[in-house]
Amino acid sequence: MRRAPLALAATALLALTACGSSGTGGGSGSGGDGRLRVTAAFYPLQWATAKVGGDHVEVGSLTKPGAEPHDLELTPKDVAGLASADVVVYLAGFQPAVDDAVAAEAKKTAFDVSADADLDLTATEEGHDHAGESPDAHAEHGTGKDPHFWLDPVRFEKVTTAIGERLATADPTNAADYRANAAALVKELGSLDAEFEKGLADCTSKDLVTGHAAFGYLAQRYGLSQEGIAGLSPDAEPDAATLRDLAAHVREHGVKTVYAETLVSPALTETLARETGATVAVLDPIEGITDTSKGKDYLEVMRSNLDTLRQGQQCR
């Protein structure tokens, strides 16, 4: 992964700060309109922060629409935006370039949601879940913490509440509004959780074969078992032996549907489907919203995912 050298970013920061910065793409500095300036690392955090902040905040995302967040590279302008934001909301360990920039420019304003996200699920680079194994076993498999907490609405509820508290700390004048907005969003996420629990309660197939291992928390929450074609990062492609094993798993378990996704090539998924006779459907890991997304925001795309899963997993 290529990263913008921090020394270069710091040099550019001086020039950009002298000229001022504006806009919301990479996070803008405090302006004269009284709103809190917040930079979020990627879409789900941007969406939740905007919902919680309401009219009191201006929220930008470091990850542009249509970009794959795992591979994020920051420009000097992005780093300058971090330095001038009132709050930076990010997930430590997910995007190394963001971790580096936060350490260099936003230590006092950064808010890491990982503790509230409860990242307790691990997966190998080949995409298999290894919940319940020992740390030594994790090391043998080459595992890492699964960062995709937002695909589990219950984990997302906890992060939403934490964001509300962080905004309240940064802007005490509007603390009551932030907490009320967070509570309202938690209620919406609770309704979404109930829909998934009911919709996936009685499915013929419990085996969830996905393009990359992004759906582990969703699978864990709703009684499914994930097998990822790629690992935690979409770039972690499996070798031929792993693909053969996965094809055997699909046949053995009678999997009828394998799932591609929106921001990465479906080639491996389509290859697996051809070899096993399965069909291909699309699940969205909601790492960004584009014109081709099946919905205009997180909630709509999650409900589209539920419809896709109900059909693909043969749910009654």
| Contact indicator for 195, 305 with CB cutoff of 8 Å | no
Are 39 and 160 members of one domain? yes
pLDDT higher for 142 or 265?
Answer: 265
Whether residue 6 has pLDDT greater than 50? no
Are 179 and 229 members of one domain? no
In-domain check, residue 139: no
Are 185 and 207 members of one domain? no
Mean pLDDT of the chain: 85
pTM here is: 0.83
Q: Quickly state the pLDDT bin for 153 (edges 50, 70, 90).
A: very high
Are 174 and 207 members of one domain? no
Residue type, 190: G
Are 95 and 207 members of one domain? no
In-domain check, residue 258: yes
Are 264 and 183 members of one domain? no
The whole-angstrom separation of Cα 59 and Cα 47 is: 9
Instruction: Give me the pLDDT at residue 24, please.
Output: 38
Question: What does residue 38 show for φ and ψ, rounded to 5 degrees?
Answer: -125, 135
The whole-angstrom separation of Cα 208 and Cα 222 is: 11
User: What Rg do the C-alpha atoms of the chain give, in angstroms?
Assistant: 20
Are 18 and 166 members of one domain? yes
In-domain check, residue 129: no
Are 153 and 236 members of one domain? no
Tokens representing 196 are 């998934």
In-domain check, residue 76: yes
Are 163 and 306 members of one domain? no
- Residue 173 maps to which CATH number? 3.40.50.1980
Whether residue 28 has pLDDT greater than 90? no
Are 183 and 245 members of one domain? no
In-domain check, residue 283: yes
Q: Quickly state the pLDDT bin for 11 (edges 50, 70, 90).
A: very low
In-domain check, residue 35: yes
Residue type, 281: A
Are 154 and 263 members of one domain? no
| Contact indicator for 247, 278 with CB cutoff of 8 Å | no
Smallest CA-to-CA distance from 91 within 130, 147, 144 is with 147
Whether residue 9 has pLDDT greater than 80? no
The domain boundary residue, chosen from 191, 225, 249: 191
Instruction: Give me the pLDDT at residue 262, please.
Output: 83
Whether residue 29 has pLDDT greater than 90? no
In-domain check, residue 131: no
Are 212 and 97 members of one domain? no
Domain boundaries, position 213: 201-312
In-domain check, residue 143: no
Phi-psi map region of 161: left, alpha, beta (phi>0 left; psi -120 to 50 alpha): alpha
Instruction: Give me the pLDDT at residue 239, please.
Output: 80
Number of domains observed in the structure of the chain: 2
- Considering 18-32, 65-79, 180-194, the range whose residues carry the highest mean pLDDT is 180-194
